[in-house]
Amino acid sequence: MRHRLWIIGLALMALLCTCRTLEAQSISANATQLYYLTEESTYGEGCLPPCACPWFPSIAIDGTFELTRTATTPLGTEYKVSNVNWLVTNYDGSTLTVTGSGEYSINTWSLLPTHRMRLKLSFDGGAAQLFDSGTMQWDDNFPRIDIDMAVNDFFCYDQVIGVRALPVNNSDIRRYTLTDSAYQFGCLPPCLCPISITGLNGTFGLVRLTERDGVTTYGVVRIAWTIGGPATTPADAEPMRVRGRGIYRTQDDEHRIWLHATVGDTPEDEFDSEWMTRENDTSTIDIAAADNDFYCFNRVFLIHAVTPTLSAGR
């Protein structure tokens, strides 16, 4: 009798673990799902016990990332985290861009399932730091992700990111098309080297993320642009691809865009518009973003983008 109960118990445990594994596989193999950080996400820096220096939380951390299922084993499911595209807003109004990649895993072969996230993140283009959650209890709520990561094992002086993330529905991505846009390469005042201006074509999407104190934040996703082409470049010049993502913000009659983009074969770089005046209607975006503060030698995206429809979205 005891032997039968033991076998039944093992079978039930296997069934429970199988169900959890199937839930954790709700993203198809090798398919990529776009995620966004909800308003419950947090970032802070300072002292945790046993140290006693102050703790400095940020006002917000907003943005998107991509999750791709890479492996399924009897122990659980593994994912690649890519295109981290976050913006930290501090209480003094300053901001920090956060980029990077890493991995996320869910271990379901246990009565107490666990998950773990490890990301190498760069703040404002600085050296990458490893944020690691360690092995944490999983609440069986995938595709939602709720996990905290730290640089120093949540001990003494540390940086901690609380990831509270949900998948983005395709219907929540507002598609924009570039029209009369351009890529500028060369010198701006006070420098005097030549400057070239080439046509810029393509599309991108906006995902509405949060609204706080009159500031609305969007994720810029799926940038697919082309610089030049037969009509705008010499016959021997090849068009260049632009790929990337970013953050777009509006407040009153101003807007600002941060882009992390690769131009052709060059390494990824940050392009920032600073705050500029805007039209109140977000069906059209007119903005310029530069990689050197519009000073001397620069690469500049002169963006004029329109969207045919306005989705209610989130």
What's the confidence (pLDDT) of residue 11? 39
50, 112: one domain: yes
Q: What does the block give as tokens for 280?
A: 């109140």
Report the distance separating Cα 122 and Cα 126, nearest Å: 5
**136 and 232 part of one domain:** no
> Are 259 and 248 contained in the same domain?
yes
Q: Which two tokens stand for residue 21?
A: 């594994």
Domain contains 162: yes
CA distances to 99, 185, 258, 272, 289 from 275, rounded to whole Å, are 21, 21, 10, 9, 10
Pair (200, 292) in one structural domain? yes
- CATH code of the domain in which 130 resides: 2.40.128
In-domain check, residue 313: no
Same domain, 299 and 183: yes
Q: Which of 139, 167, 195 is the last residue of a domain?
A: 167
More confident position, 240 or 27: 240
CA distances from 246 to 98, 99, 157, 221 (A): 10, 10, 30, 7
Question: CB atoms < 10 A from the CB of 14, how many?
Answer: 12
The pLDDT-based confidence of 202 (bands split at 50, 70, 90) is very high
- Tens digit of each residue's pLDDT (9 = 90 or more) over 221-279: 999 999 985 445 454 557 899 999 999 999 999 999 999 999 999 999 999 999 999 97
Q: How confident is the model at residue 25 (pLDDT cuts 50, 70, 90)?
A: very low
Work out the mean pLDDT of the chain and round it to a whole number: 88
193 within domain boundaries: yes
Rounded mean pLDDT of 134-161? 96
CA distances from 153 to 118, 192, 212, 254 (A): 12, 51, 31, 40
Domains of the chain: total: 2
CB of 206 closer than 8 Å to CB of 248: yes
**What's the rounded Cα separation, in Å, for the pair 31 and 173?**
18
Examine the pLDDT at 45 and tell me if it is beyond 60: yes
pLDDT digits (tens, 9 = 90+) for 79-135: 999 999 999 999 888 999 999 999 999 999 878 899 999 999 999 999 999 999 999
Distance of CA 157 to the CA centre of its chain: 26
Q: What is the pLDDT of residue 237?
A: 59
Judge whether 11 lies within some domain.
no
Domain-ending residue, one of 133, 151, 167:
167
Does residue 150 carry a pLDDT above 50? yes
Query: What pLDDT shows up at residue 309?
Result: 59
| Pairing assessment for the beta strands 240-251 and 269-272 based on DSSP bridges | unpaired
Tell whether 178 and 250 lie within a shared domain: yes
Q: How far apart are CA 306 and CA 286, in angstroms?
A: 9
Last residue of a domain, one of 167, 193, 219: 167
Across 205-217, average pLDDT: 94
Two tokens, residue 121:
């993140």
Residues 237 and 104 in one domain: no
Same domain? 275 vs 156: no
Indicate the pTM of the whole model: 0.87
Say if residue 115 is in the same domain as residue 244: no
In a domain, 96, yes or no: yes
Residues 34 and 136 in one domain: yes
> What would the 3-class secondary structure string for 168-199 be?
CCHHHEEEEEECCEEEEEEECCCCCCCEEEEE
Domain membership of residue 251 (yes or no) is: yes
Within 10 A of 229 (CB to CB), how many other CB atoms are there? 15
Q: Distance between CA atoms of 257 and 283, rounded to whole angstroms?
A: 15
Residue 13: band (very low, low, confident or very high) from pLDDT cuts 50, 70, 90: very low
CA angle at residue 37 from 50 to 148, to 5 degrees? Answer: 25
Confidence at 314, pLDDT banded by 50, 70, 90: low
1, part of any domain: no
* Same domain, yes or no: 181 and 124: no
* Same domain, yes or no: 91 and 202: no
The whole-number average pLDDT for the span 173-193 is 93
Domain contains 86: yes
Domain region containing 96: 26-167
